[in-house]
C-alpha cells in the first residue's frame, strides 16, 4: 500500500470532530458477471443507495498507477500545489469544501472529464506536472466510465425500462457534465486532542449527480447512513469499486432509489487516498421522474428542473443540507 509520509495540512486548524457512532454492515456486493446482477443492483439501490462492484473489468494496474501519481502530487510542496488552486471549481483545494463554510481534514484535486469543456485550471495542472499523471488519469477515467455505463444499463434492465441506455446516454453525451476528484486525507495530527472523537475529513452529504464511482486505498474512513438512522462503516477494498445513487437518480426513479448520505473520517495513523468519478448529465438536460417508473395511480414527487438549475441550487447549500427539498412537489392540503 502506498501512503504519504508527511501530513500535507499541518498549517490548518482542526475541523470539527464527531463521536464515532458507526457499525459494520453487510454492504451489497454485485458481481457484474452474475446473471442476476441487474436485479441485485436495483435491490441495493432501493435498500442502501450504495453497493460494491466486483468483476468490474477495470485493470488493477490502472488503479495502482493513478494512486501512485496522486501520492506524488499530494507530496509536492504546498506552494507547488497552490499553483493550481484555488478551485474554480476545478483545481486544487484544501480544507475548505465549497463556498459556504464547510471544512474538513482534506486536500483534493477536482478535474473535468469532458474534453468539450475547457478549464484553465484543468489544463494548468497537466502543464505543471508530468505527462505520466495525465495519462494515468485518462486511462483510469476511461475504464471507469465504461464500467459506469454498464452498471446503468444493467440498472435499466432491472427496472424493466427501455431503451436500456436511458440512463447511460446521459453520461455518454458529448456535453455530459461529469467530473473526477482525487481526495487525500492525511493522518490525524493529534488524536489526543480529539478526546475519543473522530476527525471529520468530509462531512455528511449526498452527491448531486446521477451516480458516483469510488475507489480508495486500503485505509478505511467512509461511512454511509442507513435507513434506520445509524451510520455504517464501509470496509476498505482497494481492488473493488463502491457506487452510490446521486440526487438526480433519486428524482429520475421518483424516489424509488435513495441518494445515500455519506461521510469520511480521517485515520489517526494512515493516509487515505480516494478517487471518485461523478457521472452527471448535460447542463441543459431536464431531470424528472421517468414516465415508465411512475405508476398510473402514482404522482411525480418532484418538479422538473434542468441539471444546471440543480447545480446552481446545490452550490448555494451547505454539505448536510437536503438539497432536493426545493424541488419536491408539495402535497395538496
- The strand pairing partners of 214, in sequence order, are 242, 276
For residues 233 and 262, the answer to whether their CB atoms sit within 8 Å is: no
Cβ neighbours of 110 (radius 10 Å)? 23
Q: If phi over 0 gives left and psi between -120 and 50 gives alpha, with beta otherwise, what is residue 239? A: alpha
d(CA 93, CA 88): 9
The helix (H) or strand (E) run that includes residue 123 is helix 120-128
The catalytic position among 256, 263, 272, 323 is 272
Quick one: which of 293, 21, 306 has its CA closest to 177? 306
Place of cell 440512463: 167
Whether 272 is catalytic? yes
For residues 53 and 40, the answer to whether their CB atoms sit within 8 Å is: no
Computed on alpha carbons and rounded to an integer, the radius of gyration of the chain in Å comes to 19
* Rounded-to-10 torsion of CA 100, 101, 103, 108: 40
Which residues are known to be catalytic?
A: 272
Amino acid at each position: 500500500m502506498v501512503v504519504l509520509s508527511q501530513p500535507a495540512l499541518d498549517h490548518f486548524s482542526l475541523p470539527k470532530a464527531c463521536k464515532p457512532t458507526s457499525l459494520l454492515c453487510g454492504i451489497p456486493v454485485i458481481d457484474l458477471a452474475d446473471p442476476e446482477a441487474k436485479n441485485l443492483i436495483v435491490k441495493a439501490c432501493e435498500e442502501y443507495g450504495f453497493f460494491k462492484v466486483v468483476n468490474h473489468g477495470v485493470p488493477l494496474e490502472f488503479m495502482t498507477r493513478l494512486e501512485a501519481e496522486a501520492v506524488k502530487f499530494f507530496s509536492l510542496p504546498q506552494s507547488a500545489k497552490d499553483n493550481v488552486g484555488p478551485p474554480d471549481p476545478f483545481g486544487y483545494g484544501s480544507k475548505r469544501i465549497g463556498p459556504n463554510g464547510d471544512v474538513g481534514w482534506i486536500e483534493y484535486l477536482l478535474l473535468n472529464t469532458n474534453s468539450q469543456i475547457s478549464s484553465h485550471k484543468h489544463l494548468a495542472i497537466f502543464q505543471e506536472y508530468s505527462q505520466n499523471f495525465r495519462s494515468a488519469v485518462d486511462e483510469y477515467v476511461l475504464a471507469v466510465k465504461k464500467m459506469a455505463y454498464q452498471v446503468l444499463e444493467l440498472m435499466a434492465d432491472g427496472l424493466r425500462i427501455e431503451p436500456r441506455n436511458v440512463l447511460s446516454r446521459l453520461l455518454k453525451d458529448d456535453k455530459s457534465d461529469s467530473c473526477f476528484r482525487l481526495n487525500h486525507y492525511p493522518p490525524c495530527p493529534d488524536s489526543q486532542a480529539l478526546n475519543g472523537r473522530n476527525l471529520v475529513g468530509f462531512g455528511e452529504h449526498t452527491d448531486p449527480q446521477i451516480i458516483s464511482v469510488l475507489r480508495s486505498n486500503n485505509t478505511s474512513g467512509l461511512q454511509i447512513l442507513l435507513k434506520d438512522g445509524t451510520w455504517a462503516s464501509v470496509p476498505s477494498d482497494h481492488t473493488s469499486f463502491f457506487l452510490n445513487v446521486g440526487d438526480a437518480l433519486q428524482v429520475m426513479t421518483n424516489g424509488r432509489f435513495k441518494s445515500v448520505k455519506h461521510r469520511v473520517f480521517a485515520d489517526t495513523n494512515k493516509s487515505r487516498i480516494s478517487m471518485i468519478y461523478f457521472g452527471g448529465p448535460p447542463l441543459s438536460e431536464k431531470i424528472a421522474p421517468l414516465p415508465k417508473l411512475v405508476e398510473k395511480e402514482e404522482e411525480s414527487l418532484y418538479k422538473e428542473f434542468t441539471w444546471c438549475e440543480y447545480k446552481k441550487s446545490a452550490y448555494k447549500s451547505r454539505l448536510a443540507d437536503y438539497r432536493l427539498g426545493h424541488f419536491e412537489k408539495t402535497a395538496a392540503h
